[in-house]
């Protein structure tokens, strides 16, 4: 898993959940795409990442962290970059009540 919990400013109490992340093992490349990626490859990679997230025991914590830190890259907590950005654009990012 990318070291998403050790960003500057992340409260220390949030640093324990990554130990339970489903993405700690396996192919982490499904969570971050390539710059030249597109079309069917992009969609297939995102589907694979979201499937891992769907079964992750710390999905809520991960999504909350990604929203709180405005993580700009990758699939986090089952959301794409665009899905997270859309929540902020609409002003509906549910940081405190992510399910
Ligand atoms: S929700 Fe997804 S990105 Fe977040 S820790 Fe779990 S598997 Fe990793």
For the segment 61-93, what is each residue's pLDDT rounded down to a tens digit?
Answer: 999 999 999 999 999 999 999 999 999 887 776
6 occurs within a structural domain: no
Total tally of structural domains belonging to the chain: 1
Range of the domain at 38: 27-97
16 occurs within a structural domain: no
Distance CA 66, CA 31 (A): 13
60 occurs within a structural domain: yes
- What is the percent of the chain with per-residue pLDDT over 70, rounded to a whole number? 78
50 occurs within a structural domain: yes
Burial class for 90, CB neighbours closer than 10 Å (0-12, 13-18, 19+): exposed
Whether the pLDDT of residue 98 is over 60: the answer is no
10 occurs within a structural domain: no
Q: Which residues fall within 8 angstroms of residue 3, CB to CB, at 6 or more apart?
A: 18
Bigger pLDDT: 85 vs 8: 85
Mutate to test the pocket of ligand 1, among 60, 76, 98 (most ligand atoms within 8 A of CB): 76
71 occurs within a structural domain: yes
Distance CA 45, CA 33 (A): 8
pLDDT (0 to 100) of residue 14: 57
Tell me, in angstroms, the distance from the centre of ligand 1 to residue 51's CA: 10
15 occurs within a structural domain: no
């Amino acid at each position: 898993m990318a070291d998403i919990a050790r960003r500057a400013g992340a409260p220390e109490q949030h640093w324990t959940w990554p130990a339970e992340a489903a993405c700690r093992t396996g192919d982490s490349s499904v969570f971050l795409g390539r710059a030249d990626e597109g079309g069917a490859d992009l969609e297939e990679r995102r589907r694979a990442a979201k499937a891992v997230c769907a079964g992750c025991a710390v999905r809520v914590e991960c999504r909350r962290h990604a929203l709180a830190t405005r993580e700009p890259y990758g699939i986090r907590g089952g959301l794409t970059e665009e899905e997270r950005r859309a929540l902020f654009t609409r002003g509906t990012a549910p940081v405190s009540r992510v399910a």
